[in-house]
A and B are shown apart, each in its own frame.
Chain A
Amino acid sequence: MARLTNSPRFALDPMLPQRFVVERLWRETADTFTVKLEPVDKTADFAFAPGQFNMLYVFGVGEIPISISGDPADNTALLHTTRAVGTVTKAMSRLKPGDMLGLRGPFGSNWPVLEAGGHDIVLVTGGIGLAPLRPALYAILAQREKYGKVVLLYGARTPEDILYKKELARWRAHFDLEVHVTVDRATESWRGNVGVATTLIRRAPFDPQDAVAMICGPEVMMRFTTQELLRRGVDSSRIFVSLERNMKCAIGFCGHCQFGPQFVCKDGPVFALKRVEKLLNTWEV
């Protein structure tokens, strides 16, 4: 997998953030938002690979890892979508255009978008997990002819919690992309699927012998999703998951993100299932 570590912007101290300014910030759902950033230093580039993350710092509040959710080919927009759930994300959700943020990154491994060329693609995601997968989908759609069938299976808690709604509708209109959405709890007006994302796998149109699967969601969802994919006959070397752990440094020094021998920050967050399968099914690793 290509890595974009050792970027020249870390010539000095990899713990020192770069300053970015909020260009725009908008609400996606009741508790999620997207922030669009631009660097103070206009020459700074923010090339990234789908699946990578940045450490975002809110002045005086703290710093947290957030995956990059924009289009890797668009170097005019650096997007992060997250849920306002902790001290830092809540403070971030209140930022206005022109406000400043600190940013370190990009860090970590990426989705095997290039390696998956020629194969069917299955993206399975739950909740906010769609955000780290969106760059992969952008990259795949940009070179659609290089892939076989492309399927997106997405589960949200309720119809109100569906992320990137307009975009999903647009994707759904593509004749060469299958989009299946399900919700845990339906509202009266919902006429779509009800149930967890794993239930969509059984019927999804892809060739299990050929498909490359990329999964991002809560750990329990990923556990069941991988089981379901394996049951359909997808080989564990072609299933990829993105893990989440506590992180303080993102460069392998703080020790917080360890997952067995792996550091999620630098060996992950995207892992081939083969490498983490046993630990993913072990309690409290």
Chain B
Amino acid sequence: MPVQLLDWEALEEFFTALKRRGFTLIGPQLQDGAIVYDQLEKPEDLPLGWQDVQDKGSYRLHQRDDEAAFGYVVGPHSWKRFLHPPSLRLWRAKRSESGFDLQEEALKDPKYAFIGVRACELSAIEIQNKVFLGGSYTDPHYRARRQGAFIVAVNCTQAGGNCFCASMGTGPKVETGFDLALTEVLAPSRHYFTVEVGSEQGAELLKEIPHQEASQQEIATAQQLVATAAGQMGRELDNSGLKEILYASYDHPRWDEIAERCLSCGNCTMVCPTCFCTTVEDVTDLSGQEAERLRHWDSCFSIDFSYIHGGSVRASGKARYRQWLTHKLASWIDQFGSSGCVGCGRCITWCPVGIDITAEATAIRNSQAVTGVKTKGTRHVQADH
């Protein structure tokens, strides 16, 4: 289907059409000084005219000199909080004559329509699909939420200070995995979106709202904006041979240096759109008659994470940072076939001490010769599935 065009004024009807189909709209909005993802009612709820400025350990909002609805990059939230919720009850148990009865948790399909999913975030969803749906076991809760979701992607027309999706091959242009993909254009007298259709469902929905085919000129303008973003990346990461380098660097002195700065707070894992680790909590009511099992997001930075009788396996901060970075950029590739990093830069922005994953990976790469670590000859530590 050729690229279509949607005027800003038609966005309200677009939202209405989604709601009519039973979708709950989730999208960006201004809350407590940040742009977060929450339930949307109308286009005016979008963070019109706001832009985020990001640096290491820094996130500030600034007023733009236009009314762009998607003029920011990414905030502290990611879509994982809706597909893989921070807390979820897995099941309940009730004491009975013979012991206890188990009650399965009903699967919820909240029918989310995600408005404003960036290219890096689509990649993150793709990565979590592999984690939760790609193995011999699948997570029924994730599946129900993912299958029901309608995805409205938005191309980035500018990159942020901590962005490096171009290095990770995940953006800034969205390629697949969406129902509709918008590119926002603010011409002097006109505010419009070019629209790419990515699914049957997307095409059906578009039929219900006023739109037209985009002209070559309009398409070219939108493409130019996305190309500009690609050239604005605030950071970069050289992925060539990085897995082998990191596998050979378990004893690298850089981990000690990072550990002196890292607070082990786990912010990076909470804001990361691909981090999937969880813990479980068993609770009972006061009478001890009813019990339930809850699942919560967890972080490999917590000391309890690796606890087995006798103590935590990763007792030191440096072992925990090494685990996180090595998992993200190296072992993830062996586990799920791609890097676990999509280059969104959240972990850099929301790190209270501004630790930069790209800088740390580069430092380890560049100091290999000094520490005598070789890139080759590490094949025996790779998984041979």
Contact = CB atoms under 8 A, between A and B. Distances in A.
Interface of A: 3, 5-6, 10, 12-17, 19, 21, 40, 57, 59-63, 83, 85-86, 99-100, 102, 244-246, 248-249, 251-256, 258, 260-263, 266-267, 274-275, 277-279, 282-285
Interface in B296-322: 298, 300, 305-309, 313-316, 319
B93 interface: yes
A13 B138 CA distance: 8
Interface in B79-135: 90-91, 93, 95, 98-100, 102, 104-105, 131-132, 135
A57 B93 CA distance: 11
Interface stretch (B10-18, B67-75, B276-284): B276-284
B17 to A, nearest CB: 34
Contacts of A57: 282
A111 B102 CA distance: 33
B99 A100 contact: yes
Interface stretch (B151-159, B181-189, B357-365, B376-384): B376-384
A91 to B, nearest CB: 11
A278 B278 contact: no
B91 A285 contact: no
B291 to A, nearest CB: 4
6 contacts: A5-B137, A12-B140, A13-B105, A100-B99, A255-B276, A261-B334
A254 B291 contact: no
A10 B284 contact: no
Contact of B102 (A16, A260, A275, A279): A16
Contact of B91 (A13, A21, A255): A13
A49 to B, nearest CB: 15
Contact of B305 (A102, A251, A256, A282): A256
A260 B246 CA distance: 11
Contacts of B381: 260-261, 278-279
B139 to A, nearest CB: 6
B2 interface: no
Interface in B35-52: none
Contact of A278 (B104, B135, B331, B380): B380
Given A255-B278, A278-B381, A285 B313 contact: yes
Contacts of B306: 245-246, 256
A263 B137 contact: no
A266 B277 CA distance: 15
B136 interface: yes
A59 B99 contact: yes
Nearest to B135: A252
B239 interface: no
Contact of A253 (B95, B278, B283, B288): B278
B291 A15 contact: no
Nearest to B305: A256
B278 A251 contact: no
A245 B309 CA distance: 10
B251 interface: yes
Contacts of A59: 93, 95, 99-100, 284, 291
B102 to A, nearest CB: 6
A102 B288 contact: no
A63 B137 contact: no
Contact of B383 (A16, A248, A267): A267
A2 B93 CA distance: 33
A57 B90 CA distance: 14
B319 A284 contact: yes
Contact of B288 (A3, A60, A244): A60
B331 A253 contact: no
Given A261-B334, A279-B381, 11 more contacts: A10-B137, A12-B140, A15-B90, A19-B100, A245-B313, A246-B313, A248-B278, A253-B132, A254-B277, A256-B298, A261-B335
B173 interface: no
Interface in B309-362: 309, 313-316, 319, 323, 326-327, 330-331, 334-335
Contacts of B282: 57, 60-63
A102 B104 CA distance: 13
Do most interface residues of chain B lie in helix, strand or loop, or is the interface mixed? Answer: mixed
Contact of A246 (B90, B308, B315, B319): B308
Contacts of B99: 19, 21, 40, 59, 99-100
B140 A282 contact: no
A255 B300 CA distance: 8
A19 B102 contact: yes
Contacts of B284: 59-60
Nearest to B332: A261
B340 to A, nearest CB: 11
A274 B380 contact: yes
B381 to A, nearest CB: 5
Contacts of B314: 284-285
Contacts of A63: 280, 282, 293
B316 A284 contact: yes
A245 B308 contact: yes
A103 B276 CA distance: 24
B383 A254 contact: no
B104 A12 contact: yes
B137 A14 contact: yes
Given A246-B306, A274-B380, A40 B98 contact: yes
A255 B326 CA distance: 14
A253 B98 contact: no
A3 B137 CA distance: 13
Contacts of A12: 104, 140
Given A15-B91, A253-B276, A261 B135 contact: no
Contacts of B280: 62-63, 248-249, 254
Contacts of A3: 136
